[in-house]
Amino acid sequence: MYHHPLKLALLLILTLLTLPLQAGISPLAFGSRGGVPTLAPMLEQVIPAVVSISATLESGSANTTSTTQSAPSPLQRNHSGLGSGVIIDHHRGVIVTNHHLIEGAKRIEVKLEDGRSFDATPLGSDQETDIALLQINASNLQALPLGDSGALRVGDFVIAVGNPFGLGNTATSGIVSALGRSNLGLERFEEFIQTDASINVGNSGGALVNLNGKLVGINTAILAPNGGSVGIGFAIPINMVREISNQLLRHGKVQRGHLGIRTKSLSTNLARSLRLPADQGVMVEQIEPGSPADHARIRKGDIITTINTHNISSPTQLENVIGLFPVGKKVKISLIRGNLRHNLFATIQPKVEQTLAGEKLSSNLSGTVLTPLSSEQKSFYLSGGIAVQSVDPQQAGWALGLRPGDVIYSLNRQPITSLDEIEQAAALSDKMVIIRLYRGEKILEIIMR
């Protein structure tokens, strides 16, 4: 059937004009001009709160002579020192951005939408979530109100605002494509919002807002198989940003704790037998003696469903939730034991982590920090290994191809399950070293000469 183009256009306009009422959008956020829907009133409030960031980096010492057999990751971040940030406190001049933008910077310049420029002071940074806070001494600032990323649903409209390619503040629109994306190998703590709003180089640290103009995420990475945006971008949920920012403001760093348990996902049959939703609950496999979980009398076989108000759907999410609680916080753990439901209480305690600097093994691994596998990683990588906790983008380990979240399981075909084992294997290695690792569900091989 033929439809007249004018009728189709009128139908589209009428449909869009009803969106604010259907979705509960504030009329101030969604306006019309000459009968045509527009987001301009909302963006006029958002854009002044998004800043451009230019970081002058210390000269790196990355070793580019090493070779790798693995293909470059399609997940890309901007390490040029040019990016974006969002003002979240206009009284104190506090700006949130990405850790990877300012890491190793000797000078950080912030440019406002009105043209003013200021040198910024770092207040704190957390590599494991890629969140950093800056402060500028400026008046007449505009901050973005924080939304609730926990209320997002797939299909919600979102707008990305940032400084792509240094062009200045740019807004692109899209929807929430997926929630809770993890195992991307970008951070240790991952629970990303995925969006098809166009995110490009320079958008890192910029704002992802809902149609009310509230900040729901901080843009951090894109999937770019051919070096450009293909409509798959990732943002850190604002609820995670809020928790990390509070700790950075108080302590200048994040003080993470642990429960001391190892868990696994529930099978479909077990979830059904317990009358649980398919995406809720994890089973306790192991309890560390003397840990907070041990003191709370959590037992092997317990099914943890919620911690405080957080529904637990996977071992990854459990680690993310625990990792965001400050040390000393008392948390309520709801679980199923047999056919009974229980509420137990545990106090988050600091975790003493073993670490190994990569340069102790080889100069080609400088800037790399290795750790034992976390409880969640042990559940996922049953054969064992050691984790790459962090990699300095300006050092040789990054140039070699290592990324945070990688799990090294073999060195010169010798199985690696501990820091001691990799030290022993490295001491016996000749000039050529073959590193085998997991990156999410992929298996990669890196040759180091």
Is 342 noted as a catalytic residue in this protein?
A: no
Number of neighbouring beta carbons within 10 Å of residue 51: 30
HSE toward the beta carbon, residue 125, CA cutoff 13 A = 16
Maximum pairwise Cα distance, the chain: 77
CA distance 193 to 78: 18
Is 100 noted as a catalytic residue in this protein?
A: yes
Interaxial angle between packed helices 238-251 and 315-324, expressed in degrees from 0 to 180 and rounded to the nearest 10: 30
Which structure tokens are listed for 123?
Answer: 């207040």
The one catalytic residue in 73, 182, 204, 366 is 204
Is 251 noted as a catalytic residue in this protein?
A: no
Per DSSP, the three-state class of 28 is coil
Q: What angle do CA 261, 264, 268 make, to 5 degrees?
A: 150
Listed in order, strand segments (DSSP E) in 90-156 are 94-97, 105-111, 117-119, 121-126, 131-135
Listed in order, strand segments (DSSP E) in 259-406 are 261-265, 282-287, 303-307, 310-311, 330-337, 340-347, 349-350, 356-357, 368-372, 386-391
For residues 42 and 32, is the Cβ–Cβ distance under 8 A?
Answer: no
For residues 125 and 131, is the Cβ–Cβ distance under 8 A?
Answer: yes
Single out the residue of 319, 312, 317 nearest to residue 261, CA to CA: 319
Number of neighbouring beta carbons within 10 Å of residue 65: 10
CA distance 244 to 94: 14
Single out the residue of 85, 56, 226, 259 nearest to residue 163, CA to CA: 85
Single out the residue of 15, 75, 436 nearest to residue 230, CA to CA: 75
Per DSSP, the three-state class of 176 is strand
Which structure tokens are listed for 118?
Answer: 């200021």
Per DSSP, the three-state class of 268 is helix
The one catalytic residue in 130, 302, 392, 406 is 130
The one catalytic residue in 100, 302, 313, 374 is 100
DSSP for residue 260: -
What amino acid positions are annotated as catalytic residues? Answer: 100, 130, 204
